[in-house]
């Protein structure tokens, strides 16, 4: 599935602001950012249980939780009038600048504008 198609389909399930009397964009941004943090916490908790509680890796549960994270990322993109694809491309461009030859530990502190 293409990222922008996912975003469009996910947007079908965004909360309708009039139904909940939420018209403030900042409120919606906060709502989605808090949701993203909560879902990311669920991913972390699942990893903790799988590794430290020795419950084993459950790919299906991980897929579900990562999907929930992605939903909130898409919702935030929509609130900021961004597409998932442009955010993805921006991230790849940043990674190419930071790690032009692939990952190396000495480049982990490099930031755009630093000398190469």
**40-89 residue pLDDT tens:** 999 999 999 999 999 998 999 999 999 999 999 999 999 999 999 999 99
Q: Are 10 and 77 in contact (CB under 8 A)?
A: no
- What is the pTM assigned to this prediction? 0.85
Dist. CA 98–CA 112, nearest whole Å: 7
**Strand pairing partners for 100?**
102
3-state secondary structure at position 37: helix
Give me 31's structure tokens: 């709502």
Domains of the chain: 25-107 (1.10.287)
Query: What residue has token string 């442009």?
Result: 86
pLDDT over threshold 80, residue 114: no
Dist. CA 111–CA 98, nearest whole Å: 6
């Amino acid at each position: 599935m293409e990222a922008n198609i996912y975003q469009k389909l996910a947007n079908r399930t965004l909360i309708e602001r009039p139904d909940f009397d939420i018209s403030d964009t900042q409120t919606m941004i906060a709502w989605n950012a808090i949701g993203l943090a909560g879902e990311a916490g669920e991913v972390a908790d699942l990893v903790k249980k799988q590794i430290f509680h020795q419950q084993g890796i459950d790919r299906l549960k991980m897929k579900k939780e990562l999907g929930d994270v992605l939903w909130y990322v898409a919702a935030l993109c929509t609130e900021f009038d961004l597409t998932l694809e442009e955010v993805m491309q921006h991230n790849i461009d940043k990674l190419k600048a930071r790690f032009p030859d692939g990952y190396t530990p000495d480049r982990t502190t490099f930031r755009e504008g630093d000398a190469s």
